[in-house]
A = this chain, B = another copy of it.
Amino acid sequence: MASSTEEGWAPPAVLIDRNGKVMGAINHRQPNNWGRWGELDELGTVNFITPERIVAAASLIRTGKVVSCAIPLDPSGPVYPGRANVFHAFTYTGTDYAAGAPIRDQLGHYHGTDDVLFMPLQGSTQWDGLAHAGSHDMLYNGFWIGNVDAHSGARRCSIHQLRDRLQGRGVLLDLAARTQAGRLLPGHAITSAELDACASDQGVEVRSGDILLVRTGHVPHFYALEDKSSFWTSGAPGLSIETVEWIYRKEIGALAMDNIAIEVEPFEQPCEHPFPLHGRLIRDLGLTLGEIWWLDRLADACREEGRWEFFLSAPPLNVTNAVGSPINPIAIF
């Protein structure tokens, strides 16, 4: 720990081994998956999604209906305060050609157009990778937080290590549909009993290696709000800290929701630190978290198809040493 005395202040002393792990690190919090897939595992719970389970999930593709779970990737979306806005611009346009700009004469009758994107990797429908959240100087599996640096990025637990992952059985638990308001209200802490009841009523079983989707209606609420200024200070529905044990026991492969940060806000008290579920799920369990998903069209499709399971393909972009990635998650029935 950092020490601050009258004489001065020193950065936290720590001893790192050759693999980037904090020497002698033990995770006293339970449950955790540290060491479960080896001392050097950087993938976490996606290890539950085995080839066999992928094959089994493929059998859910029966009608060929495809549903994207991405919000529009543009400046209209809910970006956490303090992050930059999504920015999309064109380096040459069709109007340039139409108005006879010099580019019109450069390639004969050919007209190409080009665009650029600037965005926070956490600023739209996305995965939070395992390097996105740690506590007490450590990431998942005891890797030192100092492995994430400005120059090299996340040298451990990067999102690009999941580039072949995050395909499998998806299950939607539509909690929003069980409310009168059509959405869970800010401050609603979802319990494992609610998850179990929803699954039971929907007639779907949550299994090891599933990519679990939980619909709250909170992101749609953002879009519906005319004045969004209070959205960020009003709290959010999300998972209770109590669900960590349930998620661990169910051996969830990855978890995604249509809220901003998975967990209920304000955070349940007492909590060991802000974003307590980020700590418990990402760092302790090694669970990749999907945020700001759009689950309304998926819920409609589930109702139409009469089932709450489907094949899900949601690979991250292969961004080298990144801690997150925008995605277009695809459910296939």
**Taking CB as reference atom, which chain B residue is nearest A89?**
B89
- Is A120 touching B114 in the complex (CB atoms < 8 A)? yes
> How many copies of this chain are found per oligomer?
4
A137: chain B residues within 8 A (beta carbon): 97-98, 111
Question: A274 and B101 in contact (CB under 8 A), knowing A83-B114, A93-B148, A148-B93?
Answer: no
A323: chain B residues within 8 A (beta carbon): 90, 113-115
A150: chain B residues within 8 A (beta carbon): 89-93, 95-96, 101, 150
Q: Which of B10, B110, B116 sits near A84, CB closer than 8 Å? A: B116
Question: A16 and B9 in contact (CB under 8 A), knowing A146-B94, A151-B96, A153-B88?
Answer: yes
Alpha-carbon distance A147/B164, docked complex (angstroms): 37
Alpha-carbon distance A323/B108, docked complex (angstroms): 20
Question: A61 and B58 in contact (CB under 8 A), knowing A95-B148, A100-B2, A332-B167?
Answer: yes
A71: chain B residues within 8 A (beta carbon): 318
Question: A153 and B118 in contact (CB under 8 A), knowing A72-B160, A83-B91, A160-B72?
Answer: no
Q: How far is the CB of A276 from chain B (nearest CB, A)?
A: 8
Q: How far is the CB of A21 from chain B (nearest CB, A)?
A: 9
A118: chain B residues within 8 A (beta carbon): 84, 87, 116-118
Chain A window 135-166, contacts with chain B (Cβ cutoff 8 Å), 1 for yes, 0 for no? 11101000011111111111100001001110
Give 10 closest A-B pairs by Cβ, nearest first. Answer: A51-B64, A94-B148, A58-B61, A101-B149, A54-B64, A94-B145, A98-B146, A95-B99, A74-B320, A108-B273
Instruction: Indicate if A218 sits at the interface (CB-CB under 8 A).
Output: no
Please, could you name 29 A-B residue pairs with CB atoms under 8 Å apart, sorted by A?
A9-B100, A12-B100, A51-B65, A52-B64, A58-B58, A66-B167, A68-B164, A70-B318, A71-B318, A73-B319, A88-B320, A93-B150, A94-B148, A95-B146, A98-B99, A99-B146, A101-B146, A109-B279, A110-B275, A112-B275, A113-B148, A114-B121, A116-B119, A117-B319, A118-B118, A163-B328, A315-B328, A317-B317, A317-B326
- Is B95 touching A110 in the complex (CB atoms < 8 A)? no
A104: chain B residues within 8 A (beta carbon): 2
Instruction: Indicate if A45 sits at the interface (CB-CB under 8 A).
Output: no
Given A91-B151, A110-B275, A229-B229, 6 additional A-B pairs, CB 8 A: A10-B100, A88-B319, A94-B148, A94-B149, A110-B134, A116-B118
A114: chain B residues within 8 A (beta carbon): 83, 120-122, 132, 323-324
How many A residues are at the interface, by size bracket?
35 or more
- Is B111 touching A115 in the complex (CB atoms < 8 A)? no
Instruction: Indicate if A259 sits at the interface (CB-CB under 8 A).
Output: no
A53: chain B residues within 8 A (beta carbon): 64
